[in-house]
A and B are shown apart, each in its own frame.
Chain A
């Protein structure tokens, strides 16, 4: 069976510090990978998605970047955090070849607080 792991679960960082959130998927190959941000009252906002190693599509220009160094690894980064980066970040994956349909499987999320 497939599983998704996301860490760290919680993170408190000072303004201007770097960020690295990691996500790995097990039990499948070449998954479509996603980073979402969930702010209170604002739903699930797609930040980045990837359909293959090194292939990153950005949906929202901002202080964050994403990378996919391995097939089942997806990393969300920032060089300098802003207060506005405080949020709940969710990694998700989908089976390849499902086009625009198919279930999104979410990780347990990472709560980031920037002070």
Chain B
């Protein structure tokens, strides 16, 4: 089955700096890569996703890049703000077969210091 590795497990940055979280996946057939944000005490929510036919996607201060050859994808947050502090999860899934499930990484606790 799919295995998703996420690094780092914790990340601390100063407000205004950039933050990068990296994930690798094992299944070369995976073609959908979402990122979820979980604020303290709240439910995970989708913040951005990318499909394998695209190398990069941006949404304001958030961007995701995908390298299919190397089987890794990354989340980039620019101009970080204290409200960006949360746990971020990457995930991967493939089409076909048991195509209803996402495999998540173990999460990255991002702390943005004011």
Q: Would you call B31 and A100 a contact (CB within 8 A)?
A: yes
What distance in Å separates the Cβ of B79 from its nearest Cβ neighbour in chain A? 25
Q: Does A34 contact B (CB under 8 A)?
A: yes
Q: Would you call B32 and A43 a contact (CB within 8 A)?
A: no
Segment touching A, from B13-21, B64-72, B97-105: B97-105
Q: Would you call A46 and B103 a contact (CB within 8 A)?
A: yes
Q: Would you call B99 and A44 a contact (CB within 8 A)?
A: no
Q: Does B61 contact A (CB under 8 A)?
A: no
Write the chain B residue with the least CB distance to A96.
B100
Q: How many residues of B contact A (CB 8 A)?
A: 28
Q: Which residues of B contact A32 (CB under 8 A)?
A: 100
Segment touching B, from A15-23, A68-76, A78-86, A103-111: A103-111
Q: Does B9 contact A (CB under 8 A)?
A: yes
Residues A100 and B94 in contact in the complex (CB < 8 Å), given A32-B100, A43-B89, A43-B104 = yes
Q: Which residues of B contact A45 (CB under 8 A)?
A: 104
Bound together, the chains give a CA A42 to CA B104 distance in angstroms of 9
Q: Which residues of B contact A49 (CB under 8 A)?
A: 100-101
Q: Does B6 contact A (CB under 8 A)?
A: yes
Which residue, B32, B99, B100, B106, has most C-beta atoms of chain A within 10 A? B100
Could you name 29 residue pairs across A and B whose Cβ atoms are closer than 8 Å? A41-B107, A43-B89, A43-B104, A43-B105, A43-B107, A44-B107, A45-B104, A46-B101, A46-B104, A57-B100, A90-B44, A99-B95, A100-B32, A100-B99, A101-B49, A101-B51, A101-B93, A103-B34, A103-B46, A103-B49, A104-B44, A104-B46, A104-B102, A106-B43, A106-B44, A107-B43, A108-B42, A108-B43, A109-B43
**Apart from A57-B98, A94-B100, A101-B95, what 12 extra A-B contacts exist at CB < 8 Å?**
A32-B100, A34-B101, A44-B44, A44-B104, A90-B43, A90-B44, A99-B99, A99-B100, A100-B102, A101-B32, A104-B36, A104-B102
